């Protein structure tokens, strides 16, 4: 099934860690949250790797360099090398290096991860708009990034210097909750200058290209928790994706996903890498035959012991079984009903039946 026409999660008779050669894993909300490993992540990743799957960690967070991320993963119990980590800082540095001569000065608005990545590409990080930069690059600088750094960016951009951004995620998770991400900081500079940056991070192609170049993946599976970065990035890159429900995306948001945000597979957590995925099938249902008269689409969709369909303006779920199978069936009903758009049907009662 093509991603453009996806109307239901796919099934797989083969465990995903055997069906794909490389997992391209997001970090926050997938492997860890607030710096601590998410339940089942460590054992699932170690088993997948031991069974021959390559693990690559792909993050839009440009603050921490790969060696720091790899050390953190190793400390959590998932051995990793710096080469296993791909960051938006690396992707944006490649993008800049393709447009500027080697040795060019680049004004850095962000953290050490950006500076290291720029030096890898033969570019010189500088700190002031008075240093005659040939470009400005903006990446997440952490909660202590001074407001004056945005002013430096504006001074240079207003003099015609091209502007690059590692990513535009508006928020980032922390141990205390959700806080502003690099996208929020980019908006500050955008409003002040009226300029538009060239962006490298997920879901845009430069990040996917960087990942494939560094991993050599031939049959990759993107694993993430965000529809608008991880899953859309997989869609743009033409590869399959697994959404795990351990991060920012909840069941209600998943049901409203438009085509580019619909994952190939859905699972609760990273244990989904180690199993096959059940098929969602068309099923006969007594009420499904007449739902078109009540404002719905004809047809019902089954997974496990559940049947899902649209009736009287709402998503309806009948049966019993594992909650995740019910959600998969609801995805098929919602996405089929929405077509190329976003499902606006009421899913409250159906999701309550699943405890989601």
Catalytic positions, written as ranges: 26, 28
CB burial of 49-75 (b: ≥16 within 10 Å; e: otherwise) equals beeebbbbbbbbbbbbbbeebbebbee
φ, ψ at 264 (rounded to 5°): -70, -45
What Å distances lie between residue 332 and 6, 45, 176, 212, 257, CA to CA?
A: 9, 29, 35, 30, 11
3-state secondary structure the chain: CCHHHCCCCCCECCCHHHHCCEEEECCECCCEECCEECCCHHHHHHHHHHCCCEEEEEECCCCCCHHHHHHHHHHHCCCCCHHHEEEHHHHHHHHHHCCCCCCCEEEEECCHHHHHHHHHCCCEEECCHHHCCCEEEECCCCCCCCCHHHHHHHHHHCCCCCEEECCCCCEEEECCEEEECHHHHHHHHHHHHCCCCEECCCCCHHHHHHHHHHHCCCCEEEEECCHHHHHHHHHHHCCEEEEECCCCCCHHHHHCCCHHHCCCEEECCHHHHHCCECCCEEECCCCHHHHHHHCCCCCEEEECCEEEEEECCEEEEEECCCHHHHHHHHHHHHHHHHCCCCCCCECHHHHHHHCC
- DSSP H or E stretch at residue 129: none
Residue 117 CB coordination number (10 Å): 28
């Amino acid at each position: 099934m093509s991603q453009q026409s996806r109307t239901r999660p796919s099934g797989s008779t083969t465990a995903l860690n055997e069906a794909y050669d490389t997992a391209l894993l997001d970090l926050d909300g997938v492997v860890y949250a607030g710096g601590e490993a998410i339940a089942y992540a460590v054992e699932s990743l170690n088993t997948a790797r031991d069974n021959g799957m390559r693990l690559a960690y792909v993050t839009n967070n440009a603050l921490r360099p790969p060696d720091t991320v790899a050390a953190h993963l190793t400390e959590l119990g998932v051995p990793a090398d710096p080469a296993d980590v791909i960051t938006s800082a690396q992707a944006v540095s490649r993008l800049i290096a393709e447009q500027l001569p080697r040795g060019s000065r680049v004004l850095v608005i962000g953290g050490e991860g950006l500076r290291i990545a720029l030096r890898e590409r033969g570019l010189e990080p500088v700190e002031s708009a008075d240093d005659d930069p040939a470009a400005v690059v903006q990446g997440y600088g952490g909660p202590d990034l001074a407001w004056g750094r945005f002013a430096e960016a504006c001074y240079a951009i207003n003099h015609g210097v091209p502007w690059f951004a590692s990513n535009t995620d508006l928020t980032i998770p922390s141990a205390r909750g959700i806080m502003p991400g690099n996208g929020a900081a980019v908006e500050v500079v955008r409003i002040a200058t009226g300029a538009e940056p060239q962006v490298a991070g997920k879901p845009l192609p430069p990040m996917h290209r960087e990942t494939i170049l560094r991993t050599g993946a031939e049959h990759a599976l993107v694993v993430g928790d965000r529809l608008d970065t991880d899953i859309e990035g997989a869609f743009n890159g033409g590869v399959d994706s697994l959404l795990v429900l351990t991060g920012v995306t909840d069941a209600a948001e998943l049901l409203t996903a438009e085509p580019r945000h619909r994952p190939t597979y859905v699972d609760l957590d990273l244990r989904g890498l180690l199993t096959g995925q059940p098929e969602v099938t068309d099923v006969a249902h007594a009420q499904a035959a007449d739902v078109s008269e009540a404002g719905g689409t004809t047809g019902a969709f089954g997974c496990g012991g559940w049947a899902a369909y649209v009736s009287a303006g709402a998503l309806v779920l009948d049966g019993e079984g594992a909650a995740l199978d019910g959600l998969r069936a609801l995805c098929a009903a919602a996405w089929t009903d929405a077509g190329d758009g976003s499902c606006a049907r009421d899913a409250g009662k159906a999701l309550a039946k699943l405890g989601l």
